[in-house]
Amino acid sequence: MSALTKEFLADWHKAVKHRDRELLSSIIAEGCELRSPVVWKPTADKDYLLHILMGVITVVEGFEYRDEWIKENEIILEFTGTVDGKGLTAIDRITLDENGKMVCIEVMMRPLNTLIEFATRMREHALAYKPDNAANA
């Protein structure tokens, strides 16, 4: 594992654990693409991505990473948690650029009943996004 990947992972885990939006922002490249299990069209708006990431770590109760796989600039992080008492298992597939910043994150989640509940809760969060006050999200 490269030093940049190691540094990214340390910052990522710290940011998620402490719900630190500024630290997340510092390790995400402008134009980073989000591929969500909830919508078919990827987004590349960094402020919106940060809004969504902060929502995920709030909506998923007991959010916890339990395993990781790394191959060059590709990282897969497996996480677990619950949404309204329904258990979930999911992965974040992250791609880093040559500077160690995230340029793509693809999220896959199961089972379907939890994904449906997650999508409902995240829709409310996503609709609350206002570009003018994105830093407060």
Q: Domain of 102: which CATH number?
A: 3.10.450.50
Our count of domains for the chain comes to: 1
User: In the prediction, which pLDDT does 137 show?
Assistant: 47
CA–CA distance from 136 to each of 20, 66, 130 (Å)?
12, 29, 9
Residue 79 contacts residue 137 (beta carbons within 8 Å): no
- Please report whether residue 112 resides in a domain: yes
pTM: 0.87
Nearest by Cα to 26 from 97, 93, 102: 102
- Please report whether residue 113 resides in a domain: yes
User: In the prediction, which pLDDT does 26 show?
Assistant: 96
User: In the prediction, which pLDDT does 61 show?
Assistant: 93
- Please report whether residue 135 resides in a domain: no
- Please report whether residue 137 resides in a domain: no
SS3 94: strand
- The whole domain housing 72 covers 3-130
- Please report whether residue 13 resides in a domain: yes
SS3 52: helix
User: In the prediction, which pLDDT does 7 show?
Assistant: 96
136 is written with which tokens? Answer: 């407060």
User: In the prediction, which pLDDT does 132 show?
Assistant: 61
Q: Report how far residue 58's alpha carbon sits from residue 52's, in angstroms, rounded to the nearest whole number.
A: 10
**pLDDT averaged over consecutive 10-residue blocks of the chain (137 residues)?**
93 95 95 85 85 89 95 95 94 96 95 91 78 53
- Please report whether residue 136 resides in a domain: no
User: In the prediction, which pLDDT does 36 show?
Assistant: 85
